[in-house]
């Protein structure tokens, strides 16, 4: 699917980009050849994006897009980049919990900002995220995600201690 067809604020995975080119066959006649390079088009002086990278796609902005990679860096994929939408459901928690990150500044809030994948967050932190989001941002979709994480840990007998 082309990125310009993806709904705003969607998690996507960049897939191999097919390229059509004309080449001469043995008889010298031009034929269309489709090849799949691993070059992803981004503007000059912006972070490069590789095939199989996961991107939080925000929106299209002209011929490029605005989004974040898994290191929380702003990235700008070409609007015509081929991607697949990542299923945002409980059935896909095994993958999602290793991709989605939360920023934190330590237990007392004085440490440098560190981004941690959900599967590495301690149990108390995940539970506190639910409480915080419900209180401060009651319509935030992340509330459901953090609740899924708690359910996943319970079902798989996982506990992450501080």
For 17-68, the pLDDT digits (tens) are 776 666 677 777 776 665 556 678 889 889 999 999 999 999 999 999 999 9
Could you tell me whether strands 54-61 and 114-117 are parallel, antiparallel, or unpaired per DSSP bridges? unpaired
Task: Extract the tokens encoding 98.
Answer: 């290793």
Q: Alpha carbon of 107 to those of 128, 136, 161: distances in Å?
A: 12, 19, 13
The pTM of this model reads: 0.79
Supply the angle between the helices 142-155 and 123-136 in degrees, to the nearest 10.
150
Q: What are phi and psi of 144, to 5 degrees?
A: -60, -40
Domain range list for the chain:
3-85, 90-155
């Amino acid at each position: 699917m082309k990125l310009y067809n993806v709904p705003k604020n969607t998690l996507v995975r960049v897939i191999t980009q097919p390229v059509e080119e004309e080449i001469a066959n043995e008889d010298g006649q031009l034929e269309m050849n489709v090849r799949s390079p691993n070059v992803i088009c981004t503007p000059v002086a912006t972070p490069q994006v590789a095939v199989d990278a996961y991107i939080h796609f925000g929106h299209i902005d002209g011929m490029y897009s605005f989004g974040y990679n898994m290191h929380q860096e702003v990235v700008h994929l070409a609007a015509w980049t081929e991607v697949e939408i990542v299923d945002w459901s409980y059935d896909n928690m095994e993958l999602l919990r290793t991709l989605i990150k939360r920023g934190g500044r330590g237990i007392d809030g004085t440490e440098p900002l560190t981004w941690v994948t959900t599967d590495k967050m301690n149990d108390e932190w995940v539970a506190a995220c639910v409480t915080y989001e419900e209180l401060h941002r009651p319509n935030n979709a992340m509330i459901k995600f953090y609740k899924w994480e708690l359910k996943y840990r319970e079902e798989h007998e996982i506990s992450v201690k501080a």
